[in-house]
Structure 1
Amino acid sequence: MPNDTFLYRFWSDFSRNHTAVIAAIIVLVIVLVALCAPLITPQNPYDLSHLVLRDARRPPGYVGTGGYVHWLGTDAQGRDLFSAIAYGLRISLQMGVIATGTALAIGAIAGCSAAYIGGRFETSVMRIVDLQLSFPAMLLAFVIAAVLGQGKYQLILALIFAQYAYFARTAHGAAAAERQKDYVEAALSIPLSSWRVVSRHILPNAFPPIIVVATVQVASAISLEATLSFLGVGLPTTEPSLGMLIANGFQYLLSGRYWISIYPGIALIIFIVSLNLVGDQVRDQLNPRFQR
């Protein structure tokens, strides 16, 4: 196998940053824990038949009625906290990936189409994008989630709307640079349809900076979801989410039952920081301007 392939060079450069490698391992472990939650957790924390109220708010290491040890303790409903965190990571990761992937698709198509068509269409699209980017993403997501109400799909829509503008701005900048190159002019002179030129020539070459933004926005979406759920406008209390777990335990924090809120918060911080470290390294490698 030749040693000059893109994947080989990418991994060779990535492996030189030991912090990014450790962060990638942590992300992989967390993803595996989330995906395998039904297999590795002692109980389904959101199955009411598995819950015993007399086991509620027990400290870490408590042996519950079911005979297994609650290594991280239990919450106010008697749920095993490790099980709740594993299931919470699962739903948070799911929502972050779905929201970011959909926002990426919408933003990439909008940005590349605006750069290709130009004129008033480009001006109108980018003015809308610039107007949205002038507001904090948290504020937009909070307003939309409050209007749509609590629910998984409502929150995903709010996250998509809060994120797509970042991808549209990035895609527009990259596509506008590609639009002026000779190979695009040659494709237009054949002639090829506008859709083929955008989908097969402009978009693939504008994709690296979009991927860089996506690695950061996944962590941002998970953080937004947790914040909105904590504020009471995200997921309902019946949905397993790290933000909801933190909110449920916050009222017991000052009474000494710190584990109900602290442990989900630690899991959320470790996950987001690790994702950001991996995203920063990917950005450094795919964008020459950031290479050290």
Structure 2
Amino acid sequence: MAVAETTRRQRLSEFWSDFAQSRVAVVALAVILVLLFLAFACEWVAPQDPYDLRNLDWLDAFLPPGTVGSGGYVHVLGTDNVGRDMLSAVLYGLRTSFIIGLSAGALALTAGIAVGLTAAYFGGRLEAVLMRVVDLQLSMPAILMALVLVALLGSGVGQIVLALVVAQYAYFARTTHGAATVERRKDYIEAARSTPLPTYRVLFRHLLPNVMPPLIVVATVQVAAAIALEATLSFLGVGLPLTEPSLGSLISNGFRYIHTDRTWLSLYPGFALMITVVAINLVGDQVRTVLDPRQGL
């Protein structure tokens, strides 16, 4: 146990050393951590709860950034058409985006691993059927599938997460299947299969750890994609309603005033969405370079 723990620490140290060679990735990681803190501490950081009607005053509607409202505090990013503090709304919306993105990414990863490992390990007709379903799904745009599923399931955080899981698990399944197919032919897997070990131990103790590196890279990309997809659905009016925190619904609400001098209504939530997605993608690019140095050539 001590040797294994020491080896694990050494690997983590080496990974961080290689990751830190990119200052851009380190800054992006710091931005993500700050955004995560602000998002999940929004109840204490935000000036108000913008989705509690008791905190809203219609007289504070359309206040420009830097204006002092009736609540006695400065609206740093201004207010929207119903008097919501935009800074508070952005932080609450950012929390929803992280919850949906991380939940959808984790569940899609789990489902994709289950499908990909099963297909690669057992092979035969089962592999053919599972991977044809995955290939068929990959041929369809994720946003189109998400739109159809949300229309069928209805709006809400749980429904959107489920729709995104169904729309995204195929990316993990295809990656898992490709990596597991290569590993399955190696001697250590053949040796493990020849022993009385139960199938689940061969899958999760021997095969899965060796296919995780590419899945980690795909996970970072898909979390960013899930956040962007949720914002797109809410912007189109089929995601979360205006009464629930969402960067997409904030951008959609502000878009109606894009040709006026109230550009802050969509500018700030759009900027928050862009910074979040770009930062996650930058971290994912560096993780890919560290785990597979040939990608950086």
Which SS does the other structure have where 1:285 is aligned?
A: helix
Of 250, 257, 268 in structure 2, the residue corresponding to residue 245 of structure 1 is 250
**1:201 equivalent in alignment to 2:206:** yes
The offset of 1:12, in angstroms, is: 1.0
The aligned residue for residue 290 of structure 2 is: 285
Letter in 2 for 1:56: A
Distance of 2:56 and 2:11 partners within structure 1:
51
Match of 1:153 in 2: 158
Question: Shift of the alpha carbon at 1:2?
Answer: 8.8
User: Matches of 1:168 and 1:126 in 2, distance apart?
Assistant: 8
**Once the 2 structures are TM-superposed, how far is the Cα of residue 21 of structure 1 from its aligned partner?**
1.0
Matched, 1:24 2:29: yes
Q: How many residues align?
A: 292
- 2:290 corresponds to which letter in structure 1? Q
Where does the alignment leave 5 or more consecutive residues of structure 1 unmatched? none
For residues 281 and 166 of structure 2, the distance between their equivalents in structure 1, rounded to whole angstroms, comes to 21
Report the equivalent of 2:72.
67
Matched to 1:119, the amino acid is G
Alignment deviations for residues 167-222 of structure 1 (CA, whole Å, 9 cap, x no partner)? 00000011111111111111111121212111111111111111110011100000
- 1:114 matches 2:130: no
Judged with a 3 Å threshold, the aligned counterparts in structure 2 of structure 1 residues 2 and 205 are, in CA distance, closer, same or farther, namely: closer
The 3-state SS of whatever aligns with 1:131 is: helix
Greater Cα shift, 190-199 or 83-92? 190-199
Three-state SS of the structure 2 residue aligned to 1:254 is coil
User: Is 1:188 matched up with 2:193?
Assistant: yes
Moved over 3 A (4+): 1-4
Structure 2 residues not aligned, in runs of 5+: 1-5
1:107-152 deviations in whole A, cap 9, x for unaligned? 0011011000000000000000000001111111111112222111
The alpha-carbon deviation at position 288 of structure 1 amounts to 3.5
Q: Which of residues 100, 103, 106 in structure 2 aligns to 1:101? A: 106
Shift of 1:3: 11
In structure 2, how many angstroms separate the alpha carbons of the residues matched to 1:87 and 1:264?
A: 11
Indicate the residue corresponding to 2:226 in structure 1.
Answer: 221
- Once the two structures are TM-superposed, the CA of residue 7 in structure 1 deviates from its matched residue by 1.1
- Cα RMSD of the aligned pairs, angstroms, is 1.4
Residue equivalent to 1:125: 130
Whether 2:279 is the aligned partner of 1:274: answer: yes
Query: Using a 3 Å threshold, how does the CA distance of structure 1 residues 132 and 262 change in structure 2: closer, same or farther?
Result: same
Q: Does the aligned pair in 2 maintain the 1:3–1:9 contact within 8 Å?
A: no
Task: Specify the alignment match of 2:3 in structure 1.
Answer: none
How far apart are the structure 2 equivalents of 1:277 and 1:143?
Answer: 30
Calculate the TM-score normalised by the size of structure 2: 0.96
- Between the aligned partners of 1:130 and 1:242, the Cα distance in structure 2 is 32
Deviation at 1:287, TM superposition (A): 2.1
Match of 1:88 among 78, 87, 93: 93
Q: Please show how residues 246-265 of structure 1 align to structure 2 within 5 Å.
A: 246-265=251-270
Q: Which amino acid aligns with 2:146?
A: A
Distance 1:78 1:4 in 2: 51
Under a length normalisation based on structure 1, what TM-score does the superposition of the two structures give?
0.97
In the alignment, the residues of structure 1 paired with residue 252 and residue 201 of structure 2 have an alpha-carbon distance, to the nearest angstrom, of 49
